[in-house]
Amino acid sequence: MNETQSMNPKDDSSKDTRQRKRPRGSRPIHIHCLFSALAGILLGLVFLLPVFHRLVWVSLAPVFLLITYRNPSRNFLSGVFIGVPWFLISCYWLSHVTLPGLICLSLFEGAYLGVWLVLAGRFPAPWRNYLLPIVWVGYEFVRSKGVLGFSWNLMGHLAYPVEGLAQTFGVYGLSFLVAAVGVLITIMVLNAREEYSGPLPEGSGTFIMLPMLWLLLAFFVYWRAPELKPDKKIYVGVVQGNFEQSLKWSVPVDEALNRYVNLTNETVNESHPDLVIWPEAALPTVLSQKPNLLAVLERRVREWESSLLFGVLDEDVRTNSEEAPGTLYNSAVFLDYRSSGALGKVGTRKEIAEYLRGPLEPDTKKSLLFPAAFSGSKDHTPKVYDKSRLVPFGEFVPFRQLLPFVQDFVEKQGGGAFSNGMEGMTVSTVFGEIGPLICFESTHPGLARKAAMNGASLLVTMTNDAWFGETAAARQHALQSRFRAIETGRAVVRVANTGMTALYLPDGTVAERLPGWEALSDTWVVPLYSHLTFQFRVGDCLGWLCLVCLGFSLLLARGIHREEEESGENRDHNPIGQSKTRPETSPPE
């Protein structure tokens, strides 16, 4: 032992403790997977049961503590064992429709989470801890996009009591806050364990601070934002038909029509609303296949002297022959009693399609690739909105050319045959534009924002939650409409076949609500807004910013990995007990 070591044994010991890393994968793999499954069960309960909602603020700490530095296989397993029970528990209601679908969804979400935990594991502590909120926002943001996008179980949805910040933060900004609280708990636990910590690489602080500065700006805008005031108010009648899913498509059309007409008569006679709304697929038929139905509804609308927005399946047969099947849509049709152009005598399927959608006209723009292109008439205001974001493997099959056997299976179950309409389309009325969101569309913030950008002063969610019975699905789904109201600064009228029919205001309050699982109707006073919120203006900027910052951080991490590999090679070539990095020196006298 040299003189330096004999004089300062305590100092050397403390320095070794500070610089010591925990061995990667020191915990037995079966214990690690068990802890991961417990973390996933906690997340599942947090999103399933209201009594556990407040635990969302601590629910990510176990996930973050399970991340191991530069151990991709273990981190991937952590994601799988967390994600599978998380989605199996929180989305158990999907088994009412398809048990294989629930299993596949859980496996997919588990593997997807595993990929993001592998990315997080590429950063050493404490750098990783500072980046984890950015990583988590990136994970949720990408998970919500594309044809397989699934915006369920986002942390920001349960961020009580600061949900109002979604007006400027958006739901991803609230998820950032939840993840940041989880990081604080993680840091406290790691400090108690005396885990390894080292310096941050040069330049990494910039990419850590950028999302924080963005949220600081968003908070300042929220703090200075004026109180929202409606431009005007209208009376809206909502009708909840309450058909069980087992009867939804077997009940005769006349019986369904009579129930909705009778419920509408009650609310019209009592309060005479400006607009009456029926839920998604209120009438179990394809509209163009029932030529008398549209004439009956128009006659009723004129009797009520109230406009009607109702959900129904519809075919566009304008480019087809009369006998050929048309393009099938899940649609919302608007009938205005003030309209001067009535349908009149019932005509052919094509005449009905042109009445609702307008006649097709040859495209005036010459195109070498599409010389026979057609477009809708500019002089005709469409009376129909077609659902633009379809349910994967339900209403359509992604990559169906590569998965023909899946397409056949889904079609045998009654799905997979729908086409999608244009995103952000609105319905024109005398009191302003209305932005319909049909069922699954309400889970995507971008669709509500596009509708508001196109002038919608009111958003309407039309849905059928009877698919899942009296489960947590209706409550979880309704939560999405509440956030669309906060983000866009628009009131959202949610009308369900059964489940939760409610009115959400831009401050997040539930102004009105019908009791669930009953056939009811009511009339509500609904405010119309034209104010543009900060989140409305910036959209997904925070999500993209987090992805950019994460990408640059990964480039910096590659440099650290190369240095570690080079230092490891140098240690392998040095004699045992000698150090190449720091020669021994004598203490000063």
pLDDT at 340: 54
At 254, list the tokens. Answer: 């006349």
The label of the residue with tokens 């799988």 reads 80
Q: Per-domain residue ranges for the chain?
A: 18-225+540-572, 232-388+423-532, 391-422
Could you report the per-residue pLDDT of 227-282, keeping only the tens digit for each? 889 999 999 999 999 998 877 788 889 999 999 999 999 999 999 999 999 999 99
Strand ranges for 339-451 from DSSP E: 360-362, 374-376, 384-386, 427-429, 432-438
Q: How far apart, in whole angstroms, are the C-alpha atoms of residue 443 and residue 331?
A: 17
CA distance 86 to 144: 17
The Cα 451–Cα 437 span in angstroms is 9
| CA nearest to 22, candidates 185, 187, 197 | 197
Q: Which residues of the chain have pLDDT under 50?
A: 1-7, 9-11, 13-24, 364-375, 574-589
Residue 291 is predicted with a pLDDT of: 77
**Domain made up of 232-388+423-532: CATH architecture:** 4-Layer Sandwich (3.60)
Q: According to the model, what pLDDT value does residue 339 have?
A: 74
Phi/psi zone of residue 522: left (φ > 0), alpha (ψ -120 to 50 degrees), beta? beta
Residues 6 or more apart whose Cβ sits within 8 Å of residue 4 = 584, 585, 586, 587
> What is the model's pLDDT at position 362?
55
Whole-angstrom CA distances from 440 to 275, 391, 436, 444, 542 are: 23, 7, 12, 8, 23
Phi-psi region of 203 (alpha: psi -120 to 50; beta: other; left: phi over 0): left
- List CB contacts of 55: < 8 A, sequence separation 6 or more: 42, 45, 46
